């Protein structure tokens, strides 16, 4: 039987995690990065967002992108998809 990591391989995929600097968001980022996904960390707290992205990158070796975003501000959200596409080359 194939191991779970082989069955759940997310290499070459990008996970976008809203609230990524919080406890649950960070846990999701860790789990997805462990499976090989690149991680876009979205949070309104700049310092926590950047630190979370750095920590995930250092621990799992995956590409990460911290994006400081207020999800309640629709205008703020407009540029997010293109920034992710440009950075990760999707």
Average pLDDT over residues 63-85: 93
Report the phi/psi class of residue 65: left, alpha or beta, with left for phi > 0 and alpha for psi in -120 to 50: beta
* Whether the Cβ atoms of residue 18 and residue 71 lie closer than 8 Å to each other: yes
Domain housing 12: 4-88
Model confidence at 2, pLDDT cuts 50, 70, 90, reads: low
Question: Does 30 score more than 70 pLDDT?
Answer: yes
Positive or negative CA dihedral for 40, 27, 56, 13? negative
Q: Order of strands, edge to edge, in the sheet holding 14-18?
A: 14-18, 38-43, 64-68
- Domains of the chain: total: 1
Single pTM value for the model: 0.89
Residue 35, domain CATH: 3.40.50.720
């Amino acid at each position: 039987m194939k191991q779970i990591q082989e069955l759940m391989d997310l290499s070459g995929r990008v996970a976008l995690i809203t609230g990524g600097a919080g406890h649950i968001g960070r846990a999701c980022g860790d789990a997805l990065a462990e499976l090989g996904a690149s991680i876009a960390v979205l949070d309104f707290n700049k310092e926590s967002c950047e630190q979370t992205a750095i920590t995930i990158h250092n621990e799992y070796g995956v590409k990460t992108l911290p994006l400081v975003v207020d999800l309640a501000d629709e205008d703020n959200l407009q540029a997010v998809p293109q920034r992710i596409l440009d950075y990760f080359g999707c």
